Amino acid sequence: MKVAVMPGDGIGPEVTREAVRVLEALDLPGLTLLEGDVGGIAYQRHGHPLPAETLEIARAADAILFGAVGDPACDALERSLRPEQAILGLRSELGLFANLRPATMFPGLEALSALKSEIAARIDLLIVRELNGDVYFGEKAIETLPDGRRRGRDLMSYAEDEVRRIAHVAFRAAQGRRKRLCSVDKANVLETSQLWRDVVVEVAAEYPDVALEHMYVDNAAMQLVRDPGRFDVVVTGNLFGDILSDQASMCVGSIGLLASAALGERQTAHGTFGLYEPIHGSAPDIAGKGLANPMATILSAAMMLRHSFGREDEAARIETAVSRALADGVRGHDLGGAAGTATIGEAVLERL
């Protein structure tokens, strides 16, 4: 059970520390932690946000526990050297195309949702976000036109096999849940989305037990706050999934609560190789102040035990400990409380 720990920038190291404490408290036989530099800190130390050594550590591991990358001081660097390239590079280099972003209401937290409690209470959804394609990885440029005007462009594209493989992941996930899948696109405007929709319909023939619906992304953003309980599994492209998952976090109560898994095809001894990270970023506004909520990262570690190590019992123990801490009133600053990063970590450990 080799875990590459990559804390990164800003609150990344603060939240990762608490997740590592939780993992260590489980005393799992064979758990080995390796550490790799990513993001702005890696650029400072090695001149690149994703140094070759780090990629090697990632490849040698069975799973990666990732904090966050991003540093405003690096925003003026050329794009290939910016911290965000570390996470994009790991996802693409390691073929981690399937991003699972669950959003479930925690009992007792309903009143802290940005939505009305009775609407928030019904949230139990899973966003399956494609992670290796879309406008993220298409040709991009800022160029000067012959008449002197500058133009920015980013090519949006999906090949059918890329859509097919994420669709299979989503249909299988739906089979293990309430058997409802909503595919989100913008097929009324975008050819990329039209192909997406056509391929999802083709794949649906193999899953007659799953009820498939299609929804335009603007409507999906609206339905997510009108009645999030209507969603079971949502499958969508890289860009729409990025945006909708941040939105889903506030429906639950805070971005400090949402975990994620990025999975590919590579199998390990006890599961699937994956990268696990909170959906939030490096939060430079609160970095270094001990204010970050580590629960999203702790819950990501639980997803790691489940998907990469086949340790369902321990994964559920972590999730129950987080849920109990919330039910007992442990609240970070993001939830209007006063508990700091380490206090929240301890509260989870006590309940573990």
Residue 87 binds to ligand IPM (criterion: CB under 6 A): yes
Nearer Cβ to ligand IPM (6/88): 88
CB of 26 to ligand NAD, least distance (A): 22
CB of 87 to ligand IPM, least distance (A): 5
Partner touching 88 among ligand IPM, Mn ion, ligand NAD, none, CB below 5 to 8 Å by kind: ligand IPM
Please answer whether residues 274 and 4 qualify as being in contact, where contact means their C-beta atoms are separated by less than 8 angstroms.
no
The binding site for ligand NAD (CB under 6 A) comprises: 11, 15, 68-70, 84, 87, 255-256, 277, 280-286, 292-293, 296, 332, 334
Nearer Cβ to ligand NAD (68/174): 68
Nearest to 212 by CA among 159, 169, 160, 174: 174
Dihedral angle computed from the Cα positions of residues 157, 159, 160 and 163, in that order, rounded to the nearest 10 degrees = -60
Rounded Cα gap, residues 341 and 345, in angstroms: 6
With residue 154 as reference, give the H or E element that holds it: strand 150-154
Rounded Cα gap, residues 63 and 328, in angstroms: 31
Rounded Cα gap, residues 340 and 246, in angstroms: 22
- Cβ neighbours around 240 below 10 Å, total: 24
Say how many residues touch ligand IPM, by CB under 6 A.
6
Nearer Cβ to Mn ion (9/242): 242
Q: Which of 64, 275, 279, 302 binds ligand IPM (CB under 6 A)?
A: 279
16, amino acid identity: T
Residue 88 binds to ligand IPM (criterion: CB under 6 A): yes
The residues in 221-260 that bind Mn ion, with binding defined as CB under 5 A, are: 242
The residues in 199-258 that bind ligand IPM, with binding defined as CB under 6 A, are: 242
Partner touching 282 among ligand NAD, ligand IPM, Mn ion, none, CB below 5 to 8 Å by kind: ligand NAD
To the query of whether residue 136 is one of the catalytic residues in this protein, the response is yes
Segment interacting with ligand IPM, rule: CB under 6 A, options 83-91, 163-171, 195-203, 215-223: 83-91
Strands 32-35 and 140-144 turn out to be unpaired
Rounded Cα gap, residues 71 and 48, in angstroms: 14
Going by the DSSP 8-state scheme, the letter that residue 125 receives in this structure is: E
Nearer Cβ to Mn ion (21/280): 280
Rounded Cα gap, residues 127 and 173, in angstroms: 10
Q: Which of 218, 285, 313, 328 is catalytic?
A: 218
Which residues have CB under 8 Å from 175's CB, separation 6+?
207, 209, 210
Rounded Cα gap, residues 318 and 328, in angstroms: 15
CB of 242 to Mn ion, least distance (A): 4
CB of 277 to ligand NAD, least distance (A): 6
Rounded Cα gap, residues 276 and 311, in angstroms: 15
Nearer Cβ to ligand IPM (256/281): 281
Q: Which of 136, 158, 207, 276 is catalytic?
A: 136
Interior angle at CA 242, CA 170 and CA 211, nearest 5: 25
Q: Which of 186, 207, 276, 334 is catalytic?
A: 186
To the query of whether residue 246 is one of the catalytic residues in this protein, the response is yes
Say how many residues touch Mn ion, by CB under 5 A.
1
To the query of whether residue 207 is one of the catalytic residues in this protein, the response is no
To the query of whether residue 186 is one of the catalytic residues in this protein, the response is yes
> What residues does 275 pair with on adjacent strands?
64, 262
> Angle of helix 312-327 relative to helix 295-307, nearest 10 degrees?
160
Going by the DSSP 8-state scheme, the letter that residue 332 receives in this structure is: B
Nearer Cβ to Mn ion (68/295): 68
* Residue ranges binding ligand IPM (CB under 6 A): 84, 87-88, 242, 279, 281
User: What residues act catalytically?
Assistant: 136, 186, 218, 242, 246
* Residue ranges binding Mn ion (CB under 5 A): 242
